[in-house]
Structures are given as C-alpha cells and as structure tokens.
C-alpha cells in the first residue's frame, strides 16, 4: 500500500487512478487559473508565531459550525459529480465525514441523490442548493432536503453565470462520460475506477434526472448548467428560499464586505467567504485574502466560514486565526476519494487533523477556541 503522508500524495494517486476528464474537472480553475492558484499561494504567505514552554497537554480541536458539533473546524464542501471521482463517491465521503464527526455537504449536482445519501448514512448532512430557472423544481428540491432530514441548507450565490474551464471544454466533460475513442482509451488505463463504475448504477445526476423537466440530455454539462442556472437570482430569492426551508441557512460565495452585510440582513446563520475554489471569477482575490475584511465587517453579527485553497491543517489554523469559525475542503477530499475511496477521505481528514493539532501546539495553544490573530506574525 502506498504511503500517504500529505494531501499532495493523495492528489498524485488520484491523478493516476481517476480518468482524465474527471480528474481535470477537479484540478482546474477558470480561465488563467490565477485565482485558483492564489487561493493556495496566499495561505503560505501567512507566517506563524512559534511559542515554547507552554503546557500543551489536553488539546482540543472541537468546535461547532452553524450549530453543528465538529471534531475540528473543517467541513466537506459541496462538489458536483463526486460520484464520478469514485463509484458512489458522495455516499463514501458522507460516511467518512460522519465517522470523523465533521459536517458533510451534498451538492445539488451530485451523482448520488439526497435520498440515497440519507439512506446510507445515519446522521443528518447539509444540502447545497443552486437556484435554477425551474422554481417548481427548486421548491421540490428544498422539500426533499427537508424530508431527508438535512440539518442546514447551503445556498450558493456565485453561480448565476458560469466561469469557463478550458480543460472541461477540451475533455467534453459529461456524466455519464461520452464513449469517444480517446475517453475509452483513457478509462481503460484506470481499471479500478472502471470496476467501481461497472458495479454501481449511480452514474448520472441523482437529484436532477427524473426530477426536473426536460432533463434527459446531460451530454454537455456546461451547456446544460448555463441553460438551467438562473442569472436573475437576487436577494429576494434568498428570502423566499429561507422561508420555505425554515432551518439553518448558510450563504456561500461571499467575497465582498457589502455583500456580507446583505447576507447578515437576509437573516442567514452563517456565510462562506468563497470564490468557488477559483472556478468562477478569475482575477478575484484569494479567499484567505478576502477573509479578514469580511470578518471585520460582519464577524460580530454572523458566523463567518471560508473555503478555497485549504491544503493542510496549517491552512485551517491560519483561517481560524483570521476569524473563520470553520473551513470547507473541496479538492483535498476529492483527491482522497479518487485515490482510495472512503479510506482516502478518512486519510485526508486524519492528515489535516494531525497537522492542525500539532501546529496549534507549536503556536502555544491548547484549544482551537483560543486561536486568534495573535498567533500570526504581523
Ligand atoms: C470539482 C468541484 C466541483 C464543485 N461543485 C460545486 C457545487 O456543486 N456547488 C458548490 O456550491 N460549490 C462547488 N464547488 C466549490 C466548492 O464547494 C468549494 O467552494 C471549493 O472547492 C473550495 O476550494 P478547494 O477545492 O480549494 O478546497 C466545486 C468545487 C470543485 C473543485
């Protein structure tokens, strides 16, 4: 068994095991990928203050995110097509998160449906909603998430229009994948992935196909999403969605203090500082650079979460130091899943937990609740 010591090991293994079309879908950003890269690079610019000779016994990383208990301030981000990184991917990742004791967020664009994930897990998970033009479909989706016992709705606001990822266009990304000669040859070199896919019936968008009208043709994901996603989405929609949902609401995709104030006004329980992992507005700042301004603007009124570029426990610590109540990981768990299925997601969480615990101790802190900006050098 390959020795896995860091998230980069999982990424490399996933790259070998997952067909190129789906690996590229995860490991890419929009246009020049400058924001995608900045998300990771800007974390490394933040330096810690090392402290010594502090009692470091009995350390704790436990916290809550939007009222939910979490073994560490980390949740699984919603990602589309996760069941294409590995057969039954959403179910496997949800199980790993549940066992580890952190929140799992299921995407609208998942392969395994809400009901399917609920049937294969025993604790409530979070559901991420994209607003589409078909409001009947959205109403039913909200009701389905409620019926499945989801404990928070993560409402994504930064995908009214679609950023372009060159690789997805070149690879002709679709689910299930189109069987061109190039795709078949590439898949033939990924026998584990193929065996998994042959062993499951979950190969299309489980929340959508059979539930939304005129959705039989998913041959081009980007064409379908750009037709279906609603460019007219506004804060008025947030109001009726909040009312229909009636539970915890987390607003995702905030990069500006003014929008953060509007999120507070909307009555949401938390907001996520996010540029969609560098997949939407290329040229937007990194999430970690945007975080402090938003915490300063609204941090006393609303729980502020963040995602984008978290690749280690040290990054989690940096984000918490700058005022994030918790972070979400996208690619790191996808790499774990593509590399080793459920065990890979568990390994990803173990790595981040251990790095966070030890690094927090190096900064002279025993409890994640004590972490603040003072652990970073000015
Ligand atoms: C492959 C992939 C698919 C994604 N799909 C969704 C989605 O369906 N809904 C959503 O709100 N965000 C989606 N995102 C954005 C993530 O929720 C999250 O914001 C981002 O991945 C965080 O950055 P990181 O991957 O650097 O951790 C996706 C991200 C990736 C990488």
Q: Where are the alpha helices (H) located in 27-70, listed in sequence order?
A: 34-44
Q: Which residue out of 273, 279, 286 has the highest number of ligand 1 atoms within 8 Å of its CB and is therefore the one to mutate?
A: 279
Which tokens hold the place of 302? 């609303």
Whole-number Å distance between alpha carbons of 321 and 271: 17
What does the pLDDT average to over 240-246? 98
Q: How far is the CA of 78 from the centre of ligand 1 (A)?
A: 6
127-130: long-range pairs with CB below 8 Å, 24+: 127/152, 127/153, 127/154, 128/78, 128/153, 128/154, 128/155, 128/156, 128/252, 129/153, 129/154, 129/155, 129/156, 129/241, 130/156, 130/159, 130/229
pLDDT over threshold 80, residue 175: no
pLDDT band at 215 (very low <50, low <70, confident <90, very high): low
Residue 180: band (very low, low, confident or very high) from pLDDT cuts 50, 70, 90: confident
The model's pLDDT over 335-376, given as tens digits with 9 standing for 90+, comes to: 999 999 999 999 999 999 999 999 999 999 999 999 999 999
- Give yes or no for residue 165 CB within 6 A of ligand 1: no
Identify any residues that bridge with 378 across adjacent strands, giving them in sequence order.
Answer: none
Going from N- to C-terminal start, the domains of the chain cover 7-375
The number of helices, as runs of H, and strands, as runs of E, in the chain is 16, 10
pLDDT tens digits, one per residue of 78-130? 999 999 999 999 999 999 999 999 999 999 999 999 999 999 999 999 999 99
- Residue 308's closest CA among 331, 292, 337? 331
> Does the structural domain 7-375 have CATH classification 3.20.20.70?
yes
Res. 64 pLDDT band, cuts 50 70 90: very high
d(CA 222, CA 225): 5
Percent of the chain exceeding pLDDT 90 equals 88
274 lines ligand 1 (CB under 6 A): yes
pLDDT attached to residue 286: 99
What percentage of the chain carries pLDDT values higher than 70?
A: 97
**What is the distance between the terminal CA atoms of the chain, rounded to a whole angstrom?**
43
Task: Tell me what pLDDT residue 317 has.
Answer: 99
* pLDDT at residue 1 greater than cutoff 70: no
User: In the annotation, is 276 catalytic?
Assistant: yes
Arithmetic mean of pLDDT, 142-148? 98
Spacing of C-alpha 156 from chain mean position: 11
Question: What tens digit of pLDDT does each residue of 288-323 get?
Answer: 999 999 999 999 999 999 999 999 999 999 999 999
Q: Ligand 1: does its nearest atom lie under 6 Å from the Cβ of 312?
A: no
Instruction: Say which of 120, 211, 276, 305 is annotated catalytic.
Output: 276
- The arithmetic mean of pLDDT across residues 266-292, rounded, is 98
Mean confidence (pLDDT) of the chain: 95
| Site of tokens 């802190």 | 365
| DSSP H or E segment with residue 354 | helix 331-362
CA 134 to chain centre: 24
DSSP code, position 289: H
Question: What number is the average pLDDT over the span 249-269?
Answer: 98
The pLDDT confidence band at residue 261, using thresholds 50, 70 and 90, is very high
């Amino acid at each position: 068994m390959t020795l896995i010591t860091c998230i980069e090991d999982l990424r490399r293994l996933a790259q070998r095991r997952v067909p190129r079309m789906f690996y590229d879908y995860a490991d890419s950003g929009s246009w020049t990928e400058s924001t995608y890269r900045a998300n990771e690079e800007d974390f490394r610019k933040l330096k810690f203050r090392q402290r010594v000779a502090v009692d470091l016994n009995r350390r704790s990383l436990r916290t809550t995110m939007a009222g939910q208990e979490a073994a560490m301030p980390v949740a699984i981000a919603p990602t589309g097509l996760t069941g294409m990184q590995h057969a039954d991917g959403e179910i496997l990742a949800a199980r790993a998160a549940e066992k580890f004791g952190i929140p799992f967020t299921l995407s609208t664009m998942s392969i395994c449906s809400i009901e399917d994930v609920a049937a294969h897990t025993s604790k409530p998970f979070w559901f991420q909603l994209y607003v589409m033009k078909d409001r009947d479909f959205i109403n039913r989706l909200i009701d389905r998430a409620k019926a499945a016992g989801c404990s928070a709705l993560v409402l994504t606001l930064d995908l009214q229009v679609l950023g372009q990822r060159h690789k997805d266009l070149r690879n002709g990304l679709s689910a299930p994948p189109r069987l061109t000669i190039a795709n078949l040859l590439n898949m033939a070199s990924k026998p584990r992935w193929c065996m998994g896919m042959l062993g499951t019936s979950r190969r299309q968008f489980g929340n959508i196909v059979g539930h939304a009208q005129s959705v039989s043709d998913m041959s081009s994901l980007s064409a379908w999403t750009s037709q279906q996603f609603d460019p007219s989405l506004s804060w008025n929609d947030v109001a009726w969605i909040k009312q229909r949902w009636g539970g915890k609401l987390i607003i995702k995709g905030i990069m500006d203090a003014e929008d953060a104030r509007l999120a507070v006004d909307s009555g949401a329980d938390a907001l996520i500082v996010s540029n969609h992992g560098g997949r939407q507005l290329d040229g937007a700042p990194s999430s970690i650079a945007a975080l402090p301004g938003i915490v300063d603007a609204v941090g006393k009124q609303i729980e502020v979460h963040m995602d984008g570029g978290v690749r280690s426990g040290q990054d989690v610590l940096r984000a918490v130091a700058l005022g994030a109540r918790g972070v979400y990981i996208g690619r790191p768990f996808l790499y774990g899943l593509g590399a080793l299925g459920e065990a890979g997601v568990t390994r990803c969480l173990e790595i981040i937990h251990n790095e966070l615990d030890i690094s927090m101790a190096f900064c002279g802190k025993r409890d994640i609740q004590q972490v603040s900006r003072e652990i970073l050098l000015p």
